[in-house]
Structure 1
């Protein structure tokens, strides 16, 4: 499971909203605060970069699917019609899931056909998609 940004923020809220029992003081509490702080930092990066990464990714996936449709079937053109909706993260992710499933099916067809050029283009796209969604780990204190 990949938690969504709202899931992470709600989890952080629940972690800090409830007073800890006395036995969780000390190192355990320090570790808990450090995890919440790290998740908050990563969530801030996702809030900043996430929507634009999804919009770019969805547009790029549509272009790849539409380009392949004449060769591999109109089903890929139909899949490219998945709309981004109201541009909330949830709506962008729903469209992205549809587009990614279609890309996976396309990639399977491309591999079966031995279409090396398109296969390499899809592999580069996977790399670029991962890069667009990267989150940077901060330097850890005391290291």
Structure 2
């Protein structure tokens, strides 16, 4: 049987919480152990979902860009949107996904600023879709915090 990384990390959290933390006398050490527990729990979650979150965000932004590129009248921005919408993630390494995600978010900010200033009939609906993406992305990235009592 191959141990799953999130399960191993959560096992460390359990051991820290139930065996080590109660036996520490100094507040400083107890605080450090509690921070380690919280960090290990977050790392376990991020290990499990990190690539999926970034990949999904990238795909959602590309879909927004494809739609927006057909609507907007700024040819330069439309061309950058078309180019970005045609891209694909070449690697599922978190560092590679983060790099692409950062570039796409920069373009999303530019698009959002353009849309918010536009008086075109399609602008309000596209602005709602952009905000829906931002809210969904924030929800997916929410951290689950341990209750340490």
Q: TM-score, normalised by structure 2?
A: 0.73
Determine which of 131, 138, 141 is the counterpart of 1:130.
138
Q: 2:68 aligns to what?
A: 68
1:113 paired with 2:118, answer yes
Tell me by how many angstroms 1:82 deviates: 4.3
RMSD over aligned Cα atoms: 1.4
Aligned partners of 1:126, 1:116: CA distance in 2, in Å?
15
**Could you tell me how far apart the structure 2 residues matched to 1:91 and 1:110 are?**
28
Rg comparison, structure with higher value: 2
Question: Which residue in 2 is equivalent to 1:50?
Answer: 50
Once the two structures are overlaid, the 10-residue window that deviates more, 124-133 or 80-89, is: 80-89
Question: Which of residues 86, 91, 97 in structure 1 aligns to 2:91?
Answer: 86
Residue segments in structure 2 that go unaligned for 5+ positions in a row: 1-24, 73-77
Matched with 1:26 is 26
The CA distance in 2 between the partners of 1:99 and 1:90, in whole Å, is: 14
Give 1:79 shift: 2.5
8 Å Cα contact 1:110-1:118 kept in structure 2 = yes
Q: Which residue of 2 aligns with 1:101?
A: 106
Give me the TM-score of the superposition, normalised by structure 1.
Answer: 0.76
Match of 1:11 in 2: none
What residue in structure 2 maps to residue 140 of structure 1?
148
Which whole-Å CA distance do the structure 2 matches of 1:39 and 1:110 have between them?
A: 39
- Counterpart CA distance in 1 for 2:102 and 2:148 is 33
Q: Give structure 1 stretches of 5+ with no counterpart.
A: 1-24
Q: 1:49, 1:133 within 8 Å by CA — same for their partners in 2?
A: no
Number of residues paired by the alignment? 117
